[in-house]
Amino acid sequence: MTHKIRYGGDYNPEQWPPEVWDEDHRLFTRAGIDTLTVGVFTWSVTQPGPGTYDFTVLDRILERAAAEGRRVCLATGTAALPPWLATRHPEVNRTDFEGRRHRYGQRHNFCPSSPAYREHATALASRLAERYADHPALLAWHINNEYGGACYCDLCAEAFRAWLRDRHDTLDALNDAWWTTFWSHRYTGWDQIEPPSALTEHWRGPDHTAFQGITLDWFRFTTDALLGCFLAEKEVIRAHDPDTPVTTNFMGLFRPLDYHRWAPHLDFASWDNYPPLDAPPTRPALAHDLMRGLKDGAPFWLMEQTPSTTACRDVNPLRRPGELRLATFQAVAHGADAALYFQMRASRGACEKYHGAVIGHAGRDDTRVFREVAELGGELEALGARTLGARTPARTALLFDWDSWWALEISDGPSRLVKYPDVVHAYYRAAREAGADVDVIPQTAGLTDYDVVLAPALHLVKGDLATRLEAVAARGGTVLATFLSGRVDEHDRAFLTDVPGPLAPLMGIRVDEWDARPPEFTQTVPELGAQARLVFEIVLPRGAEPVAGYGTDFYAGTPAVTRNRFGSGEAWYVATALDQPGVDQVVRRILTRHDLLGPYADHPAVETATRVAPDGTRLLFLLNHAPEPARLTAHATATDLLTGKRVDEGEPLVLDPLGVAILQQVRPVGGSVRQWMSRPGPSGTPDLRKK
């Protein structure tokens, strides 16, 4: 079993002659690199023609890794077609949203419904597993790469119809789900159904559809079609290798695929972290917690991050000194048991030649980037296994739902300016900056371990969720919902009841009307000293008490925020898009009720996160995202695992600009006991050992 956090990244030695490999491994040793992701785009190398396999290069790559004491995450290489396959089987090329059949080029270029693609991809994966299952360097299997995209070809149309028959069973059920009596759309044969595209139900792009139910099912189908490709490769791998863990790299808050549908089929979650350029630190933190939540809180892998800069954007800023270290420890703080880079050596040509790399084109070991990577490798070596397998003891949950994301953003009205990730992030940010650990979970997850459940913009409500949320409040917990929640069922049909639908009894309100305005318009919420934008629901209390009201227009004074007593607990409803200070106030009032404000809640630039190791050791991560020192007071006696220094309760605790501390508590003290003693969550993490 590994003795430390896995450290390394995406390595493509097939692009280089052997003498470069020698230098690479020398530099890897200097940087503390122990794990390499290999074979991600080697299909045309390992299979230069139909029925012809050449494993010479991969053999040498794995043999060299083993000789150097390094382990590999071996990719199946099926994310980019080899030219011969696209030429021999043109139907493997995708057809786009506008109905154009593409020719060979780029990557992520395969039709997921193509029998030829499935046949050749699984044959390759099977040959790889047969050859390398017992290789001493093999650590994990990496199927495909960054799954995404959609195909609208005739094969996908047929697959969509078959998927619909399985889901709806009868045409009567399908017509009811899609409400096809609207615009004379009632189907009398399965063959009449077409994928929703620019040629059928859409106009002005993928988010403008005449029938949301059709498009919602298409999004679900696309998720399942690509998942089917993953499962087909996993199945043939398991025929030769029943034990080595299998994963694929996700992309955080990635709208096209519902990762909750994929999660049961992964042995561990992994993802690639490339946050938006202007993102606050809570944005990647939200994605980390979403990835952790995919496997019921089990640690995940940070499969990719740049050591310096990206190359895919119009402008690609450089990471400043200290930012790489801070971002890496943020991932560890939120549950990462591996920290890997893209890329290990910069490509000489093509579209990623300017993408950041541990080793640049000159192959130097005296660059700032290499020094920072090497210094971080030394810190991870010294940290050892102390964080491995550690869980996050969150008592606050945030519900994240791809169906709600899709349904909200393809809806005509009330406002296309409302973006689901932005609403979710506002409430997540408020909780995290107040010092609460947060589990990001699906609608189907158990809620019994949580005191606070945040459900922002939960547009689509499924199953018995409303009843389970009521149970949270009834036993003394607090539930928060926001505007545009509880509007539609699983088929995107409006509930035939008062808004917010099945959530109305819990919230103690009724909404008959809502106002939407352009982005430059703001509405005041005087009691909070806050501004509101975009959507303004007009709330009629039905048992709930007003907390704050609107300041202008004919609905001035009507509630913008309400609180409803329910059982021993409370339900809060926020009827508009509050600015961040307004969201912060509401969330902090809720967290205060449950004694969930963190010890450094008055320092929002200092991120805190707790992990509990398998032996019960509790670790508090402190991350200073500010460019100036953070001057704190130690909330408990602890030892910093990165420096070995002890700090006593009440003593000054200074974090450098972009600084990090990992505090192992010596003893629980006073008001912080609850922070340290909250639930550790279920134990267990994938065993990344050789058989």
**Hey, which residues are catalytic here?**
146, 304
Sole residue written with tokens 């070809």:
153
- Cα-flanking dihedrals φ and ψ of residue 473, to 5°? -70, -40
Q: Is 148 exposed, middle or buried (0-12, 13-18, 19+ CB in 10 A)?
A: middle
Pairing of strands 396-399, 438-441: parallel
* DSSP state for residue 461 in the 8-state scheme: -
Tokens of 475: 């036993």
Backbone angle region of 374, left / alpha / beta, with phi > 0 → left and psi within -120 to 50 → alpha: alpha
Token pair listed for 188: 């009398």
What interhelical angle do 580-593 and 420-433 show, nearest 10? 50
Q: Determine the residue type at 476.
A: G
Q: Which residue spans within 402-519 are E strands per DSSP?
A: 438-441, 452-455, 478-482, 509-516
CA nearest to 338, candidates 620, 27, 8 = 8
Six-digit token string for 113 = 């419904």
The CA-CA-CA angle for residues 149, 151, 155, to 5°, reads 150
Instruction: Give CA–CA dist 285/280, Å, rounded.
Output: 9
Residues 6+ apart with CB under 8 A from 597: 434, 435, 436, 588, 591
Long-range pairs for 277-285 at CB < 8 Å and ≥24 separation? 277/313, 277/315, 277/317, 280/429, 281/330, 281/607, 281/623, 281/625, 282/425, 282/428, 282/429, 282/432, 282/433, 282/607, 283/425, 284/252, 284/327, 284/330, 284/331, 285/330, 285/334, 285/428, 285/432, 285/607
Asked if 142 contacts 73 with a C-beta cutoff of 8 angstroms, the reply is: yes
Q: How many CB atoms lie within 10 A of CB 150?
A: 23
Q: Nearest-CA neighbor of 680 among 385, 394, 436, 396?
A: 394
SS3 at position 488 = strand
Q: What share of the chain is helix, strand, coil (3-state, %, to 5)?
A: 35, 20, 45
C-alpha dihedral sign at 580, 582, 583, 589: positive
Contact present, 138 and 62 (Cβ < 8 Å): yes
Give the burial class of 469: count Cβ atoms within 10 A of its Cβ; 0-12 exposed, 13-18 middle, 19 or more buried.
Answer: buried
Listing from the earlier edge strand, what are the strands of the sheet with 396-399? 438-441, 396-399, 452-455, 478-482, 569-574, 559-566, 545-549
Give the integer Cα–Cα distance in Å for 66 and 16: 19
Residues 6+ positions from 450 with CB-CB distance below 8 Å:
394, 395, 396, 397, 439, 472, 477
On whether the CB atoms of residues 304 and 284 are closer than 8 A, the answer is no
DSSP 368-423: HHHHHHHHHHHHHHHHTTTTTT-B----EEEE--HHHHHHHHT--SS-TT--HHHH
Q: How far is CA 420 from CA 212, 442, 494, 537, 614, in A?
A: 16, 15, 18, 17, 35
Residue 169 Ramachandran class (φ > 0 left, ψ -120 to 50 alpha, else beta): left
Partner residues linked to 609 by β-bridges: 621
